[in-house]
Amino acid sequence: MKAQIASLTGSPLWGLSVEDVLAKWNQMGMEVIQDFRPDTPYGLGPRTVYMETPSDRKIIWIPSYGGVAGKDWLYDETDQKVFWILWKADVKVLIIGGTSGIADWRSTGSKVQPGDIVFPWSFRTNPHHRGLRGTEHEIAWPHRDLLLDEPFCSGLVQSLYDTALPYVQEGILHGIHRPEDVRVALIVPDGITYETTYDILKWNAINKMISEMQLGLPPVVTLHGDCVNPVLARLLGMHVAYYHMVANVAQGLPMESRIVDSLYPLYVDNFAKVAVPMEFSLMQNLPIPDGTLCSCITSVHTAPEVFAKSMTVGG
């Protein structure tokens, strides 16, 4: 199984079962070559759908970031299994659609709101964003220095924007935000559920402070939800095309209703209506960057060989 493009989306499609999504793509001309759960060194992998677009492109879709219903992402080593599959398939571009809650401290201007689509600028590093255990990509050091300039491929943002804009113009989505408008950072909750009011107030205060320290730059806000390992994607030479649909206002911030009151209808109605055709279009048309116009490849530096000789050699 080889494919240059894969998608791990994700909660924008949670309003439909995997079968419903595949049936809709099939009506649009997508052909399923294989639908299976690959074996990986970390155990049985998640459902993996190998497909061909009408433009003869081979595509891999791993539904819902590789999540298995009822299983913990960490205990189940989901991240490792997913990236093993992508690595073995020589994937170069990784499409990830996520959803999240917004912590936007601003009282005026174009605040990010539920129903918006966002192309993130950065993310908070996480102790669980690690390399691929047991392979030469287990760690970057001492052979490489991996920097996280523009962790989400800057060369693909325009294509994402152009693909999403019609849904905003049609009114299915509310607003659209690029890094040049607002610097949005992704934060994965540290626990297994939403943050507390304290957590979000803390991030909101930090976001406001950073924005006031850098008045010449777009303001900083945070989205709280998924952020599939951008470190490992870069380590494996993949360009990440990430988009987020905003499902709710984050815990503890002023809101007119409960989180689930905006989240459920958006998931079931708006997001899936957009994500099904949008993913199809991205799979079919998203360009494969050559690495010269973004930081995804050039920000991985080869370190002096002597670094590796300064530690114990061998497994």
* Binding region for Zn ion (CB under 5 A): 153, 155, 239, 289, 294, 296
Tokens read off for 263: 């989240």
Other CB atoms within a 10 A radius of the CB of residue 14 amount to 18
Helix (H, G, I), strand (E, B) or coil at 191: coil
Cα(222)–Cα(204) distance, rounded to whole angstroms? 8
To Zn ion, the closest distance from the beta carbon of 297 in angstroms equals: 7
User: Degrees (nearest 5) of the Cα angle 103, 299, 184?
Assistant: 10
Length of the chain: 315
CA atoms of 283 and 53, how far apart (whole Å): 7
In single-letter form, the type of residue at position 138 comes to E
**Smallest gap from residue 121 Cβ to Zn ion (A):** 14
Q: Is 157 left (phi over 0), alpha (psi -120 to 50) or beta?
A: alpha
Min dist. Cβ of residue 152 to Zn ion (A): 8
The residue (of 149 and 190) whose beta carbon lies closer to Zn ion is: 149
What is the smallest separation between the CB atom of 156 and Zn ion, expressed in angstroms?
A: 6
Contact 32, 88 (CB under 8 A): no
Please report how close the Cβ of residue 164 comes to Zn ion at its closest, in angstroms.
Answer: 18
Minimum distance, C-beta of residue 241 to Zn ion, in the bound complex (Å) = 9
CB of 8 vs Zn ion, minimal distance in Å: 16
Query: 129 or 224, CB closer to Zn ion?
Result: 129
Residue type, 210: I
The DSSP bridge partners found for residue 245 are 99, 117
Smallest distance, Zn ion to C-beta of residue 191, A: 31
Is residue 19 classed as helix, strand or coil in its secondary structure?
Answer: helix
For residues 6 and 249, which CB has a smaller minimum distance to Zn ion in the complex?
6
Nearer to Zn ion, 243 or 267 (CB): 243
CB closer to Zn ion out of 90 and 170: 90
Which helix (H) or strand (E) is 307 found in, with range?
helix 306-309
Q: Could you tell me the two tokens for 115? A: 């129903």
Closer residue to Zn ion in complex, CB, 50/152:
152
Phi-psi region of 191 (alpha: psi -120 to 50; beta: other; left: phi over 0): beta
Smaller CB separation from Zn ion, 38 or 289: 289
Backbone angles phi, psi at 216, to 5 degrees: -80, -5
* Nearest to Zn ion of 184, 249 (CB atom): 184
Measured from the CB atom, the residue of 68 and 146 that comes closer to Zn ion is 146
d(CA 186, CA 203): 11
Phi/psi at 138 (nearest 5 deg)?
-65, -35
* Least distance CB 240 / Zn ion (angstroms): 8
Spatial CB neighbours of 310, under 8 Å, sequence gap ≥ 6: 142
